[in-house]
Structure 1
Amino acid sequence: MATVELRFSALPEHVRTARLVAAAVARRAGVDEAVLDEVRLAVGEACSRAVGLHQIGGIAAPVKVMLIEEEKQFSIEVGDEARHAPHGADAPGDPDDVEAEEDEMGLAVISGLVDDVEVTAGEHGGLIKMTWPTTPPPAAVLA
């Protein structure tokens, strides 16, 4: 199992770099070329979400991205350190409702791009784990 860890300041300009690194590592891991655009888009959405949560919460800690290459799958984990309120905890009309709607929209986009996605969130941060199948490299032809 190979793992690449990426940490970046919660600034929107770093999201593009995270997308490029994720696509390059996914390609090397054996993710089908046809889904690499989806990998880029999903990582971009997850990282943008984490950046936004850090900026709103005034969190100085970096956004964490783990790129995990396993035998038959490739996973990307995007973690934030924002405090997540339980679903539905805000009062109706609360200004945080707009942010919650944007958050839900971002998660819906990710779910539409990735078949295998897990979202966990709690008082000490959140994690989006996205997984894609990989194909082994073709066997070398012996001459």
Structure 2
Amino acid sequence: MVLKKPEGDAISLKLPNLPDYLGVARLTVSGVANRLGFSFDDIEDIKLAVGEACSNAVKHAYREDNKKGVILIDCFVYPDRLEIVVSDEGKGLESVPAADQLGPLYAGREIDEVDEGGLGLYLIHTLMDEVEIRTGSGVSVAMTKYVRRDGVAGYDRTISEEEV
């Protein structure tokens, strides 16, 4: 029996839920994104989005459990995109805000009244092409970034001899 090779490769990373390891998460996805041919700016966007998702897990996931948890990072590499899932097994969200409910500032409040933080999900939605947040026993943030070569994603046109 011949097993069918999956469309993409999978890379998994399991880190302690500590701020000291956030750099490892960013470096790992940076290396994977670089191998895929992302631009420097796209790699920086991916690193920032993954860093924000991991920071949210460190800050919120296990706070009330008083136990050390883990952050799981799964990267799925396809020819045209990189899918990254950052998940934890801690306290889930009570509700998942819709993308249009996220924003850098809260309406009607002065800048000095805005709480620190709160930009993570907004940044993730802004920097990545697709984002899905799942909650239950823990939180999973699934993010997708498409490879854009020459400014166009997934465009491959061959010129026929008649057009030359």
* Percent of matched pairs sharing the same residue: 29
Q: Is the 8 A contact 1:15 1:48 kept in 2?
A: yes
1:79 to 87, 101, 109: 87
Q: Is the 8 A contact 1:20 1:40 kept in 2?
A: yes
What is the aligned partner in structure 1 of residue 132 from structure 2?
Answer: 118
1:29 to 28, 36, 48: 36
With the length of structure 1 as denominator, give the TM-score of the two structures: 0.76
Compute the displacement of 1:46 (Å).
0.6
Compute the displacement of 1:66 (Å).
0.6
Larger Rg: 2
With the length of structure 2 as denominator, give the TM-score of the two structures: 0.67
What is the aligned partner in structure 2 of residue 62 from structure 1?
Answer: 70
SS in 2 for 1:34: helix
Compute the displacement of 1:135 (Å).
5.4
Q: How many pairs were matched up? A: 123
Instruction: After superposition, give the CA deviation of every residue in 1:10-58 in whole Å (9 maximum; x if it has no partner).
Output: 1101001110111111111222333111111111101111111234133
Look up the equivalent residue of 2:123 and give its one-letter code. V
- Larger helix proportion, structure 1 or 2? 1
Compute the displacement of 1:85 (Å).
4.4
1:45 to 2:59 alignment: no
Q: Is the 8 A contact 2:61 2:89 kept in 1?
A: yes
What is the Cα-based RMSD across aligned positions, in Å? 2.2
What is the aligned partner in structure 2 of residue 10 from structure 1?
Answer: 17
Shift of the 102–31 alpha-carbon distance from structure 1 to 2, 3 Å rule, reads same
Q: Of the two structures, which has the highest relative contact order with CA contacts closer than 8 Å and spacing of 6 or more?
A: 1
